[in-house]
Chain A
Amino acid sequence: MVTLEIDGQEIEVEEGTTVLKGAQKLGIYIPTLCYEETIKPYGACRLCVVETIVNDRSMFQSSCSLSVAEGMIVKTNSKPVVKGRKILLELYLSRCPEVKRVRELCDQYGVTETRFTTFDKSEDCVLCGLCVRVCEELVGARAIDFVGRGTERKVDVPFERVWDECVACGACTYVCPTGHIQNEAHRVAQLKRQLGIQRKCRYMLMGAVSNKLCPNNYECWRCEYEQRTEYRLGEHAVLALKPAQRQGG
């Protein structure tokens, strides 16, 4: 067990816990955009950056990826953290002025307008990478990835063409915080157009159901699995799976 101090409150947590989880335990809110509990921390949105003091050295680190350390002092809302977060939100607002999730975060910090240039008003991708990582880590398909560098970076399928690696599981659209990822609809339609035995089951492809013939003869509207995950678990099939159930995960 490791003891540390978050915003003046002492807490004892297990070794290897992230600072973000520690803070959540204490009921302290830290904003996030690229964090999702079931997948590995990525540290790209930088909204969860906190000030940490270890051995009198102050640093700014992303709390989602930072493991706790004995005697660590964490300030989640110190003056420089809030100041930086506000400017960062201003930058997000200039990138995606129309996105609801960005607007919500801005509201929390009183950011109402941006001094920066908006290059594309309809831009709705914040490049959090949730879709890419869910596809790689949970689905194991790696059907989408980042393309380009720097300001050219975007999420795309290889060579901008829908390809067979996409199992149309919809996990990417499920985790997308802004509604940018929509494209896998084509793939679903493509899969559903195929008939009977020549077609593969989406849930089979994503490793959610065991590899055997469909009991419903591929009539998706009768799919028990889909109904169960949708209504009972209230979560997307892939995210609801336990790690042991995942293929290759």
Chain B
Amino acid sequence: MGDTKIRKPEDLEKLRAEGLKLISPDRSKITVGMATCGIAQGAKEVFDAINEEVSTLEANIIVARTACIGYCQAEPIVEVYLPGKSRILYHRVTPKKARELVSLTARGEIKREWTLYSIESSVEGIPPMEEVPFYKKQVKIVTRNCGFIDPRSITEYVARGGYFVLAKALGMKPEGLIDEISRSGLRGRGGAGFLTGRKWAIARNAKGNQKYMICNGDEGDPGAYMDRGMMEGDPFAVLEGMTIAAYAIGANQGYWYTRDEYPLALEMITNAIDNAKEYGLLGKDILRSGFDFDVRIARGAGAFVCGEETALIASVEARPPNPSPRPPYPAISGLFSKPTVINNVETLANIPQIIQNGAEWFSSRGTQSTKGTKVFSLVGKIKNNGLVEVPMGISLREMVFDIGGGIPGGAKFKAVQSGGPSGGLIPEEFIDTPVDYEHLEALGAIMGSGGMIVTDESTCMVDLTKFFFDFLKYESCGKCAPCREGIRQAHEILERITKGEGKDIDIETLDQVAHMVKDFSLCALGGTAPNPLITTLKYFRNEYLAHIKEKRCPAGVCKNLITYKIDPEKCNGCHVCIRSCPQGAITGEKKKVHSIDQEGCIKCGGCLEACKFDAVIVE
């Protein structure tokens, strides 16, 4: 193969030309979205089917893979590129459909009924990507390459402008880079929202020859997968951002921390680091600048608390992940007691874009306090779930109803949980709130790393809070007493309330414990853990009261407080519910009104789902 090392801009240009040919070759190309979301919905089978069909037909088609383009609801997504003609995305492709697509592509035809949208081309009857409601309000900056390139190919990354920024950055003074990032107003995307430029400056000015750069890819929120999407979709962008950051702060060793539960992301970042080393973009004397930088992967065992900076450092040092009190902040004394900058995956992916386009370009988007864009994972009771990148300041309404397409089945929107298990629930009355750090915090929620869980009227807020506390009870490291004991006791009380054994005093007790845990805890996990409790007590107090005073669950979720009944008006005696009941608790003759034996009923809800006539009611 000869020397692949890249030393000067001309080498990059050469690589870019190669990459452009890979992205838009002179023959047809079928690309399958093979991120975790796609694979979970059968992308692997689709990929195999396409490969098989291509070799059977001996078709002149390239088969490639990419990652997640964000529209996870529509996976498996397959992109078909016809040279000089069109680039079209097909959604919900099955192996059968895939085989047909291969023969169609071989003939240069398009199947309009299966298409989702087209990219970079206009084909009659197929909307371009920008006009699809899901993408209309999105701005793709961080995720611009996700789903467009093969995440394993450094060549394709360079073709999309990658690593030219590193060349530019290495020509700048570190202070100049820090100044550019400071002026852009970029804030850490991991949750706390600390100004990235300031963090870098502190580490740059900290005393010490040895400094460390850590990429925090430990994402543990239930229902959030932005960082995974990034690492699986565009690992080189993160690596480039990390290299620039290391140069700015004066670090020669980096650690990429991620959890072992992300096997695909791990594979992608391992590959990215190996590739970058092979091309001389990591290692000694990068691009003849005299700057050395090496990155090692640190794998975590999946504790939620490892996302906290000091716990993460402990984990990299091979100690149990227990947070330690700050100050001293890691930027002064972090990994192995040396100045350390820890940046989130998404923060780092922003860096190359800011250096390339300038601080003003970046800060032109967003609100007064929060600039740029943010990737959210929009999940829950929503039509279009997936990864969305939106400019800061967009309203929750736009996110839920315009991008997310609203609630399926015409149910009523209830609340949105922003910031994962330690975020808060925002009720409908505040749905027009612009999304930025300050506004969300004022409502008692947090931006967090970007998890957004939408709930509808069938979600019981007490039960949901209990779920989060159950999670936090196990994920608290257990070091400090408020977090460990407070969460456990609050969970115990919530458990009691959902069982119908709540006492009048419980609301006051919960309120007191929640505020104490928030104020007294050692780290941010404890400091934000009570948020779901505090916000639900504030906005959905009536639900708590209904559980405690009336022993009633308004959403019909808490098993001890509901009964399933059959509406004699609507029941036509079809026997469907009888067959669906695992306990045999429903009796009745054919074509006569059935009845449920309350003693035998385990409240699984099977009959409710089975009945086509809405005759099963929950009380």
List residues of A whose CB falls within 8 A of some B CB.
41, 43-46, 49, 60-62, 65-67, 80, 83-84, 87-88, 91-92, 94-95, 115-117, 126-127, 129, 145-146, 148-153
Contacts and interface: CB of A to CB of B under 8 A. Distances in A.
A53 B604 CA distance: 53
B475 A150 contact: yes
B463 interface: no
Contact of B473 (A60, A83, A151): A151
B519 A151 contact: no
Given A46-B522, A84-B520, A150 B327 contact: no
Contacts of A127: 478-479, 481, 484
Contact of A115 (B305, B322, B325, B509): B509
Nearest to B519: A60
B519 A44 contact: no
B489 interface: yes
A45 B521 CA distance: 9
Given A88-B516, A127-B484, A94 B477 contact: no
Which of B473, B481, B482 has the most chain A CB atoms inside 10 A of its CB?
B481
B513 interface: yes
Given A65-B325, A67-B327, A146-B320, A153 B522 contact: no
B572 to A, nearest CB: 48
A152 B473 CA distance: 10
B482 A88 contact: yes
The 4 closest A-B pairs by CB, nearest first: A153-B478, A43-B325, A65-B325, A91-B485
A66 B327 CA distance: 7
Contact of A145 (B320, B505, B513, B519): B320
A41 B492 CA distance: 31
Interface string B475-500: 11111111011101100100000000
B356 interface: no
7 contacts: A43-B324, A44-B479, A62-B522, A84-B515, A115-B505, A116-B492, A126-B481
B481 A87 contact: no
A62 B477 contact: no
A47 B521 CA distance: 10
Contacts of B512: 83, 87
Given A117-B492, A145-B320, A152 B478 contact: yes
A146 B520 contact: no
B476 to A, nearest CB: 4
Interface in B523-548: none
Given A84-B516, A88-B520, A149-B474, A43 B480 contact: yes
Contacts of B325: 41, 43, 61-62, 65-66
B119 interface: no
A65 B520 CA distance: 14
A19 B324 CA distance: 17
B473 A46 contact: no
Given A62-B522, A117-B492, A46 B482 contact: yes
A105 B505 CA distance: 25
B303 interface: yes
Given A44-B522, A60-B519, A115-B509, A91 B473 contact: no
Contact of B485 (A49, A66, A92): A92
Contacts of B516: 83-84, 87-88
B520 A151 contact: no
Given A116-B489, A127-B481, A49 B520 contact: yes
A197 B31 CA distance: 74
Nearest to B526: A46
Which of A61, A87, A117, A127 has the most chain B CB atoms inside 10 A of its CB?
A87
Contacts of A117: 489, 492
A115 B478 CA distance: 21
Given A41-B325, A87-B513, A91-B486, A46 B480 contact: yes
> Size class of B's contact patch?
20 to 34
Nearest to B495: A117
A150 B474 contact: yes
Nearest to A59: B519
A162 to B, nearest CB: 21
A80 B486 CA distance: 17
B378 to A, nearest CB: 29
B480 A45 contact: yes
A16 to B, nearest CB: 11
B527 to A, nearest CB: 9
A149 B477 contact: yes
Contacts of A116: 485, 489, 492
Contacts of B327: 66-67
A17 to B, nearest CB: 14
A149 B522 contact: no
A91 B522 CA distance: 16
A116 to B, nearest CB: 4
Contacts of B485: 91-92, 94-95, 116
Interface in B454-480: 473-480
A27 to B, nearest CB: 24
A153 B509 CA distance: 25
Contacts of A94: 485, 489
Given A46-B520, A62-B522, A127-B484, A150 B478 contact: yes
A87 B482 CA distance: 9
Contacts of B303: 149
Nearest to A87: B516
A31 to B, nearest CB: 12
Contacts of B492: 116-117
Which of A46, A61, A83, A88 has the most chain B CB atoms inside 10 A of its CB?
A46
Contacts of A115: 505, 509
Contacts of A87: 512-513, 516
Nearest to B328: A67
B510 to A, nearest CB: 10
A148 B327 CA distance: 26
Which of B479, B513, B515 has the most chain A CB atoms inside 10 A of its CB?
B479
B482 A151 contact: no
Given A62-B325, A88-B516, 17 more contacts: A46-B480, A84-B515, A84-B519, A84-B520, A87-B513, A88-B481, A91-B489, A92-B485, A116-B489, A127-B484, A149-B475, A149-B477, A150-B474, A150-B477, A151-B474, A153-B478, A153-B479
A44 B489 contact: no
Contacts of A49: 519-520
A24 to B, nearest CB: 18
Given A91-B489, A115-B505, A151-B488, A43 B522 contact: yes
A80 B512 CA distance: 11
A94 B513 CA distance: 13
Contacts of A88: 481-482, 516, 520
A19 to B, nearest CB: 12
Contacts of B520: 46, 49, 60, 84, 88
Contacts of B505: 115
Interface in B325-363: 325, 327
A10 B324 CA distance: 29
Interface in B291-347: 303, 305, 320, 322, 324-325, 327
Given A66-B325, A84-B516, A149 B489 contact: no
Contacts of B513: 87, 91
B478 A46 contact: no
